[in-house]
Amino acid sequence: MITSAGQEIIRYTPPEVRDTAALPNPATEPSAPKDTSSNDELYITGLHLEQYKHATRYPETYWEEALERDPLDSRCNTALGLLKLKRGQFPEAETHLRRAIQRET
């Protein structure tokens, strides 16, 4: 757009068209908890699932698998304790949170 004196007031440049081939691959399901090799991976996968609300996987199954392998894993006990607390499952939350404290002290 220009004024009557020929001075440019505003300019518009259409955006470049993105190449759709450059788009990232769609997300895939994580491995099943039993097929996950380490507690670290189970914990991180659970956090990811909790944050992004996966349609077919639940974080607690990953944290519970980690606790079957190491019942005092403080990260997974804390995560499960907080999840149970949010759901109003107070006795279960207390159990997990106390186990987390036990490992850390």
pLDDT in tens, 67-78: 999 999 999 999
Question: Whole-structure pTM over 0.85, yes or no?
Answer: no
**All structural domains of the chain with their residue ranges:** 58-105
**Which superfamily does 58-105 belong to?**
Tetratricopeptide repeat domain (1.25.40.10)
73 Cβ neighbours under 8 A, 6+ residues apart: 39, 43, 66, 67, 103
Taking each helix axis as running N to C, give the angle between helix 74-86 and helix 39-52, from 0 to 180 degrees, rounded to the nearest 10. 20
Q: Cα(first)–Cα(last) distance of the chain, in Å?
A: 69
Q: What is the reported pLDDT for 36?
A: 96
Region at 88 (left for phi over 0; alpha for psi -120 to 50; beta for the rest): left
Say if residue 13's pLDDT is above 80: yes
Say if residue 1's pLDDT is above 90: no
